[in-house]
Amino acid sequence: MINALIMAGGRGSRMGLPTEKPMLVFGGKPLLDWVVAAVQAAKKIGQFYVITSPNTPVTEEHCRAMGWNYVRTDAKGYHNDLKQAVSKLDWMGPVLTMPSDVPAITGEVLDRVVDAFEGCGKDFLAVFVPIEKRKELGLSISSTDEYKGVWYAVSGVNVVNGAKVLGEGKVETAAIITEETQVVLNVNTTKDFEIAEKILKK
């Protein structure tokens, strides 16, 4: 069993909406609720915390109402917030991290990611999506990374070694490359949101 962090502290400025992004109602419930349901369904995840920030007070209130643990960070960017959360919780072992905007994610997929991490012998495992796949679906390409000389879209689903996150220096990385809908549907813009709703309705 490993612990999980759901990153829900970003302003979601690309959405250009007054609602905090984790609280956007998608298929009848907030985006965040879909991700929490997947984490709770995963057999290989123990504790989880939602990472909030001064940008997401409504999200924080929702976590309190739902009885979910949360940690408030300073909203100084994804990596700084992750470091801050790991440090506050003192989670020095493997930690699954994911954004609050992957509403199609499932517990089964998360279990497979944990399995892959446990078998890879590295300190970091990233889940990447072919850029062509997101383009084909009309989805935005907001964040990319290079792996073995090829550029991919970042899904935001990763497993990291907590102690290494706080340390300096290069971290050995493994990756899963997937076109699975559960991971591909990462919602960064209002157009992404509409496309994801249509795909999941089907």
The CATH number covering residue 185 comes to 3.90.550.10
Residue 78 has a pLDDT of 83
Query: What pLDDT score does 201 carry?
Result: 83
pLDDT of residue 13: 62
pLDDT at 169: 64
- Tell me the whole-structure pTM to 2 decimals: 0.93
- Tell me which residue range forms the domain holding 117: 2-201
What whole-number distance in Å separates Cα of residue 7 and Cα of residue 22? 9
Query: In total, how many domains does the chain have?
Result: 1
pLDDT tens by residue, the chain, 202 residues: 999 999 998 766 666 677 889 999 999 999 999 999 999 999 999 999 999 999 999 999 999 999 999 999 998 888 889 999 999 999 999 999 999 999 999 999 999 999 999 999 999 999 999 999 999 999 998 889 999 999 999 999 999 999 888 876 667 789 999 999 899 998 888 899 999 999 888 7
